[in-house]
Structure 1
């Protein structure tokens, strides 16, 4: 545990389950801690991430600190610490949403001292000034595989097939049904293709998940369409490295890191226009972008890369190069630390 007295920045993460936001916090904080006194705070912070217990929050000394929230409940906690307990906090909120906020959320956002948008599109939905800081990823952790065969053997994946992945929470907004239908259209005539869907399933979406598995079973493709649980170690990088192609069929997304993570592992992508995908996927060079819910286009774009190994290899190289140049988490961390320092020095 970090000594709360030494902290300049607190990054709360009040969600126990893995999510894109959770992943972002736990990858950023150790990196930012090299340059500024920062710690995460929440119910399930992994070892190795600088952290303080939530029980330490009421007893924080009243010297200036930054509170960086990414969810509504974290914004509310920061406001309460500042207004009710008199803590000298500068409040920051990162908004990834690409929709109009509800009234109470708008009120909380107005209480912030600074607002960060993860994309220009997210910024357009805000009614307060913001600065755009794109997410980045750890390009050392998410890196190409030196040899996919032993990695696949370690992960109990087929070693001699073309693996097409779709990772993340399994729910309608993520478009898992679109991925399933596209693969069921493509796989019968491509016996060397295996689909891999991996992610957590909440109680509310168990029926949806079971419906997907039933559809695959009825198509007689259960042996080549793998449904896997989320990685228990919260390290999905190995699974990306094992892939040949990644599909992001989202109907809605806040930002969406998984295509970027795939690209960092030299895996080309097919993605919809959801989230910030258009901001960081070079269309026609490292992947294909298709319209949301356009199943025919999604299927055709996937077929193009499945049937053209030379193009797939070229896209893979371009994907890795693009991430290294433009999408590194170090760039995101540096921009946020600069913001923190401005707030700490403000009147």
Structure 2
């Protein structure tokens, strides 16, 4: 959906060709924000249905006021260069999800921003400039309970009549996939009605890590009870969340982490570590259970409790859906960002 650059008031660059959490955020938000504002993305590989302007037009666009909303270092740098070297009248904005001390160059660029947003209070604590916290939201219409879970499982090739426990996302140590597998190897032998589902992409760097998990499951004789699935080829993980009964987010580190929220929106309670923004998303004891990072015993105990108590799962399932639908919608995130865009466009 190409647009002339001079018709756009807000540019949300996406300078990464491979799919990532940040890329997904841009592609989800821009079409919603475009209902209210003249906004477009720009980058090397933008889907046709996303409002966009060519990268080449960034250099030739007129010098009238625009907002440049960066989410990566290279995008911040491009915005600074467009303003300083080419004289574009850009108001620079940056969203930070990192939960670590920033390097000197990053700090320098952040100080040049006109407005900074953090995706969580924990992320804001690592910034040395004032920041407004705006949580990511989810599409509560797409991520919603399915009326016939068994039919959905048939369509997806998942076992029917079982309690399904999921762990989705990239397969790598920081995501805690090994903790999930170790926990399930503890829990599955005494619970024949439970099946674990791990789904996600594996990059070359972590092929051996993934193979080690598969081999560990095979050595335990549980390869029929622990399913390793590739990421959805259509980039639509919502169907898989809807098929679950329980979701586990065992991360060691996370920038923000949408998966617990996506699960809750599908009426699936969660067990999550205190990584990323999970503490701000999960209502402990209401929509899920929070445990300390790498505390395998606590994670196992919390998961066992929910596996063994169908009534508790049902109660938390209803509360998870209600909470996420009321407080965590992507439309709320989009509007909060648009308010900042309008303020920046109106500044003297």
* 1:248-283 per-position Cα deviation (integer Å, ceiling 9, x unaligned): 000111111100000000000000000111111110
- SS for the counterpart of 2:197 is strand
Tell me the SS of whatever aligns to 1:303.
helix
**1:39 alignment partner in structure 2:** 40
Match of 1:227 in 2: 228
**Partners of 1:193 and 1:18 in 2: CA distance:** 32
1:212 aligns with 2:217: no
CA-based RMSD: 1.0
Q: How far 1:60 moved relative to its partner?
A: 1.5
Instruction: Give the distance between the partners of 2:45 and 2:163, measured in 1 at CA.
Output: 36
Deviations 1:98-118 (A, max 9, x none): 111011110111111110011
Alignment partners' CA distance in 1, 2:45 and 2:156: 25
What pairs with 1:42-191 in structure 2 (closer than 5 Å)?
Answer: 42-191=43-192
State the Cα distance separating 1:33 from its structure 2 match. 0.4
Which residue of structure 1 aligns with residue 289 of structure 2? 288
Q: Distance in 2 between matches of 1:52 and 1:180?
A: 44
Show the counterpart of 1:238.
239
Partner Cα distance (2:208, 2:77) in 1 = 33
Cα shift at 1:149: 1.3
Q: CA deviation at 1:88?
A: 1.2
Contact 1:18 1:234 in 2 (8 A): no
Deviations 1:17-40 (A, max 9, x none): 222211111111111001000111
Query: Could you tell me how far 1:239 is from its partner in structure 2?
Result: 0.8
1:19 alignment partner in structure 2: 20
CA distance in 1, matches of 2:145, 2:206: 33
Conserved 8 A contact 1:31-1:333: yes
For residue 16 of structure 1, report the CA deviation from its aligned partner.
2.2
- Distance in 2 of aligned mates of 1:247 and 1:19: 20
- State the distance in 2 between where 1:18 and 1:165 align: 21
Distance in 1 (alpha carbons) for counterparts of 2:225 and 2:44: 38
SS at match of 1:51: coil
Distance 2:56 2:120 in 1: 34
For 1:310-321, list aligned pairs within 5 A: 310-321=311-322
Alpha-carbon contact 1:139-1:324 (below 8 Å) kept? yes
Judge conservation of contact 1:162–1:193 (CA < 8 Å) in 2: yes
The match for 2:201 is 200
Q: Give the distance between the partners of 1:146 and 1:66, measured in 2 at CA.
A: 42
Question: Tell me, what secondary structure is at the counterpart of 2:11?
Answer: strand
Q: Give yes or no for contact 1:256–1:275 (8 Å, CA) kept in 2.
A: yes
Could you tell me which residue of structure 1 aligns to residue 276 of structure 2?
275
Measure the CA separation in 2 of the matches of 1:86 and 1:123: 30
Q: CA deviation at 1:119?
A: 1.2
The separation in 1 between residues aligned to 2:292 and 2:236, in whole angstroms, is 30
Report the Cα offset of residue 284 of structure 1.
Answer: 0.5
CA–CA distance in 2 between the matches of 1:245 and 1:165? Answer: 6
Separation of aligned partners in 2, 1:317 and 1:183:
25
Q: 1:262-315 deviations in whole A, cap 9, x for unaligned?
A: 000000000000011111111011100000000000011011110001100110
Look up the match of 2:262. Answer: 261
Equivalent-residue separation in structure 2 for 1:222 and 1:289 (angstroms): 28
Answer whether contact 1:119 1:134 (CA < 8 A) is retained.
yes
Pairwise CA distance, 1:223:
1.4
Structure 2: segments with no counterpart, 5+ residues: none
